[in-house]
Structure 1
Amino acid sequence: MVIEDVPYHPDGLLARIYRPEGPGPHPAVVSVHGGAWTFGDRMMNAALDGALAEAGVLVMAPEMRKPPAHPYPASIEDILCAIRWLKAQPGLGPVGGLGTSSGGHQVMLAALRPGGDAALAFVAVCWGVLDPLARYRMAQARQAEKLLAAHHAWWPDEAAMEDGSPQHIVARGEAVPPPTLLIQGTADANLTPDMAERFAETCREAGGAVELRLFPGRGHLFITEDPQAADSRAAIAAIAGFIHAQAAVTPA
């Protein structure tokens, strides 16, 4: 595996590239980190990104603009820029998206609203905030001040949370995501208990292809917090297998 940082953005933002060994073309993903939309950097998912590169997937982990200077939707524009950059590189297979937590929300939103030339072939989401409005109301009920502060920093209001919610976009019939894998622990206290299952059901009803992998007793961030645990290794293998399976049926 070769790791390098490259500029990808008109403002000079960097992305970390994890390049697999061996001949290509390799399937590729734009990997969007979590951090409640407000913190974190391109190294945040290094354990997951590196493991996928070892499994033959080229991974691009971009830096994104953040509040207070750059609230919603600046980072979505950055993700679309990263997708376009990656799709323009020679010698790659199909390009998909990968996201964790708020990064899962953002990459799914980019997949649902790609603006044409940034369309993704597939998406893998780990413990994604797929309904930010529902998560906001959960945080209000629990008086979870850190989560509330993050919502207030990135989103202008509740109407924007609903408009930019993948759950609501699919339920409204506006778009259906590309083939999707959802990774979710059943003991995730950062999300409503049914968020992933409800999104999967809504997508299937809309004609989407969604695979949901539940990991009993696992919480938020379980792969990145303990990548060597048996469940983490199984989840990483599931993500890699999903990506390679999509690459086998999707033209580059």
Structure 2
Amino acid sequence: MTQNLLEQQIRAAGPVIDPPAAKALYAPLLRDTPHGGAVVSDIAYGPDERHRLDVYLPLGASRPAPVVVFLHGGGFIRGDKADRDHVGHYFSRHGVLAVLPNYRLGPRHRWPAGAEDVAAVLAWTRSHVAAHGGDPEHIVLAGESAGAAHVAAATLLRRFHPAEGLRIAGAWLTSGVYNAELELLARRQLGIATPDPRNEAYFGPDFANYRTMSTVAQIDAEPFPLAISYAELDPVQMQAQAGELFARLVTRHGFQPQISVVPGHNHLSQVYSINTGDERLAGRMLAFVRNP
């Protein structure tokens, strides 16, 4: 299927989040995507059964290679690193060492489990990535959707930073949830179901505490290189939160983040397109990972 035909189907569907449809749409392309280097699978980085990560070793890279840690999405309640192997292979074949972790999910594990898991993955990566050919001083944290929410909390809230400081090269956030309180208070306007099967599973039933779990309201980190992106056909709540996060970082916290729109894609298609020859998201991420 050509990129033009794919985009026509994506535009016809509109701003939806439909995992089975997106996966089926890209399945033929992903079957034929090129692979990168060797993969070291299911390394434990913590005690939970979900505390496992895969390392995609870089091809043709000068050593040590830049490192990206990429967290999958799944609405806080689902998702697996194996579904994003094309992301690992994309970075690997472009000379970047990629770490793809699983993390704990709601409703069994609630906020701030995701941010804690990002911190644990970062600690593992800094301690072990040199043995795999990566540069522990050049680590970029990246995530999509719920993964972006966890990366945002782990980096922008100092309570989740390691004792020695954050010390990352940068962070990339794609279409994340950064304001749980907004999604609670504007469900009608944003078309969010009540009860919310995603946010309530992770942030819990005590709505009075949602502001304290909203990253935009709790930012206290020192500025670091950061990029925020969202899809042209993202649901409106993702677009609103990307803009709100960008505005608050610039006007209140001294950041100068990049911000960009991924044209012709929806919430899920933008990530499924990575390593298919479509560079609208992948190319921007790769350039940032190399030079945040």
TM-score by length of 2: 0.74
1:123 is matched with which residue? 171
**Who is 2:80 aligned against?**
41
Three-state SS of the structure 1 residue aligned to 2:173 is strand
Show the counterpart of 2:272: 225
SS in 1 for 2:230: strand
Larger Cα Rg: Structure 1 or Structure 2?
2
Map of 1:166 onto structure 2: 215
- The partner residue of 1:51 within 90, 98, 105 is 90
Task: Show the counterpart of 1:241.
Answer: 287
Residues 75 and 192 (structure 1 numbering): CA distance in 2 closer, same or farther, change over 3 Å? closer
Residue 47 (structure 2) aligns with = 10
Q: 1:105 aligned to 2:149? A: yes
| Cα shift at 1:229 | 6.7
Aligned residues with identical type, % of pairs = 22
Superposition misfits of 4+ residues, deviation over 6 angstroms: none
| 2:79 alignment partner, SS class | coil
Secondary structure of the structure 1 residue equivalent to 2:196: helix
Change in Cα spacing, 1:220 to 1:138, as seen in structure 2 (3 Å) is: farther
Aligned CA-pair RMSD? 2.4
Structure 2 counterpart of 1:155: 203
- Could you say what secondary structure the match of 1:186 adopts? strand
Q: Deviations over 1:177-213 (max 9, x none)?
A: 5211112112211625332122112212221120011
Deviation at 1:142, TM superposition (A): 5.3
Query: Using a 3 Å threshold, how does the CA distance of structure 1 residues 21 and 142 change in structure 2: closer, same or farther?
Result: closer
| Structure 2 portions without partners, runs of 5+ | 1-36
**Larger RCO, structure (CA 8 Å, separation 6 or more):** 2
CA deviation vs aligned residue, 1:119-176 (integer Å, no higher than 9, x gap): 2331011111122222333435456338811111111233443223222223xxx224
Change (3 A) 1:69 1:55: same
Letter matched to residue 19 of structure 1: L
- Alignment partner, residue 92 of structure 1: 134
Partners of 2:269 and 2:184 lie apart in 1 by 22
State the aligned residue count.
242
The residue matched to 1:31 in structure 2 has which SS?
strand
2:125 is aligned with 1:81: no
CA distance in 1, matches of 2:202, 2:231: 25
TM-score by length of 1: 0.85
Contact 2:275 2:282 in 1 (8 A): no
1:250 match: none
1:244 positional shift: 0.8
Q: Distance in 2 between matches of 1:243 and 1:79?
A: 17
